[in-house]
A and B are shown apart, each in its own frame.
Chain A
């Protein structure tokens, strides 16, 4: 410490940089277990965008999708001490998100039917709207698998872990989802 000029340099309160320990799964898990909010912020930065997108296709509007993401993080924060590390943190977080989305889709099923297409501020291409509208008519499991695999690009092994089903079931649900979409799109022609 330099005391030569008589003025002590006292530390000031400034935002800290992201600790390097967050860059490893073990470090991030440990920080999350301590309920370190900044660790959860890292989780949000890593997965928030995909979570919002999937939630949007379940809830059908941006505000509800953001509420779903918020609820996901609140549940995760409260339950983190029960996380035993038997899956990755990402899988665990997505499991919570899948449950939140399921709860929301059950609660808002009736509204969904009527608000699905009209929620968007600007009308997108017809193909997109057509596909979006038929996705919303899929069963929850089929819809989740389709969204996670075909839209968000996850692997079947990840989806199987998130939905707690065998990998073969995930593949089967994807096939059935696409067949159902194909059938619905054909009937619209």
Chain B
């Protein structure tokens, strides 16, 4: 056995202490103490992992992540809100959607006359166009925002679009059914409301 005290540093570099170093330490007090201290540092280190509860930390980070680094935001929002307001006014002026159709309790199986159907279809076309414009106004912010809230609005609008498509398919095969037309109007209203909510929310967060 040729292990000397000067070899200890090299021995400590190894992942596991070599056998000859262990044997040497049994008879060499300074080396034994060094090995013990070395081992105790390694053994004790994992206990230094510092764990504490920070329930608000992620929320704090999230709030900062949601602040969009934009300089032209306020101007852009003014344009978007002006467009939305104009659209809503246009919707009000046209009064294209007959209120009784939405709010009255139409029984399934009720039918429209040819003239009423024509009016309803005309109103629906105008309404859809208005909602599309509203969608276009809300679209960029809704699409680009990575917030959980935006994701939920996107999901809701996607579900509404899917439901509208289903119902429109049903209406296509039964155009005179007032009940289905009313359901369709309800969905359009919900979509309009959702888009308006998003615009309002975006305005406050800007």
Contacts and interface: CB of A to CB of B under 8 A. Distances in A.
B184 to A, nearest CB: 10
Interface string B39-81: 0111011111111101001101110111001000000000000
A38 B62 CA distance: 9
B136 interface: no
Contacts of B54: 48, 52, 62, 66
A8 B152 contact: no
Which interface class (under 10, 10 to 19, 20 to 34, 35 or more) fits A? 35 or more
Among B50, B149, B155, B166, max chain A CB count under 10 A is at B50
Interface stretch (B16-24, B112-120, B156-164): B156-164
B46 A14 contact: no
Interface residues of B, number: 51
A37 interface: yes
A35 B146 CA distance: 6
B51 A53 contact: yes
B190 interface: yes
Contacts of A34: 146
B51 A8 contact: no
Contacts of A151: 45-46, 48-49
B37 A186 contact: yes
A44 B148 contact: no
B25 interface: no
A62 B160 contact: no
A151 to B, nearest CB: 5
A181 B41 contact: yes
A77 B65 contact: yes
Interface string A4-46: 1010101111111000000000000000001111101100100
B13 interface: yes
A56 interface: yes
Nearest to A177: B41
A131 to B, nearest CB: 6
A164 B68 CA distance: 31
Which of B41, B166, B180 is packed against the most chain A CB atoms within 10 Å? Answer: B41
Contacts of A78: 69
B156 A131 contact: no
Given A6-B108, A11-B156, A150 B50 contact: no
B183 interface: yes
17 contacts: A1-B167, A8-B186, A8-B187, A16-B155, A37-B146, A40-B61, A44-B58, A70-B57, A127-B40, A128-B48, A131-B44, A151-B48, A152-B49, A178-B38, A178-B41, A181-B41, A182-B34
Given A4-B108, A52-B57, A181-B41, 12 more contacts: A6-B105, A8-B186, A13-B149, A13-B156, A37-B62, A37-B147, A41-B62, A69-B57, A70-B57, A150-B45, A151-B45, A178-B12
